[in-house]
């Protein structure tokens, strides 16, 4: 017992960080699932999660570069550390929308 505690203090044993991932529509279609569970090493970051997802699910790799990570309900930077049990949503930005509004027609004033 003392030996394992000593190894844990020296860093030879690491507790995995289990993260629950919710995939946005495009990523979910590519993965064939809306939710994934990923085990990462202690001190894992969002960037490490994305790399592991790309390794686990190669069909996601292209979409992960543009994914917007949301950790515990807040937009996250890729260097943000993750904690055991975190919920991470990966959203795909939507482009496009309505065309630019045309300038309104100006009328001359009443005379």
The whole-chain average pLDDT of the chain stands at: 82
Question: pLDDT, tens digit, for every residue of 53-102?
Answer: 999 999 999 899 899 999 999 999 999 999 999 999 999 887 655 555 55
Please, where are the H alpha helices in 20-74?
25-31, 46-56, 61-64
Higher-pLDDT residue of 100 and 40 is 40
Higher-pLDDT residue of 13 and 69 is 69
pLDDT confidence of residue 92: 87
- Give CA–CA dist 90/66, Å, rounded: 9
pLDDT confidence of residue 28: 93
Q: What is the H or E stretch that residue 82 is in? A: none
Is residue 12 scored above 50 in pLDDT? no
pLDDT confidence of residue 4: 39
pLDDT confidence of residue 5: 42
- Give CA–CA dist 47/57, Å, rounded: 15
- Give CA–CA dist 53/108, Å, rounded: 61
pLDDT confidence of residue 94: 76
Please state the domain extents for the chain.
12-91
Given this structure, which CATH class describes domain 12-91?
alpha beta
């Amino acid at each position: 017992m003392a030996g394992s505690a000593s190894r844990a203090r020296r860093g030879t044993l690491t507790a995995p960080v289990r993260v629950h991932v919710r995939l946005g529509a495009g990523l979910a279609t590519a993965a064939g699932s809306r939710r994934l569970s990923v085990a990462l090493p202690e001190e894992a970051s969002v960037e490490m999660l994305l790399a592991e997802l790309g390794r686990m699910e190669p069909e996601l790799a292209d979409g992960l570069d543009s994914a917007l990570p949301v950790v515990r309900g807040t937009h996250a930077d890729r260097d943000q550390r993750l904690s055991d049990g975190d919920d991470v949503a990966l959203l795909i930005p939507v482009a496009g929308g309505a065309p630019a509004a045309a300038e309104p027609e100006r009328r001359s004033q009443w005379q």
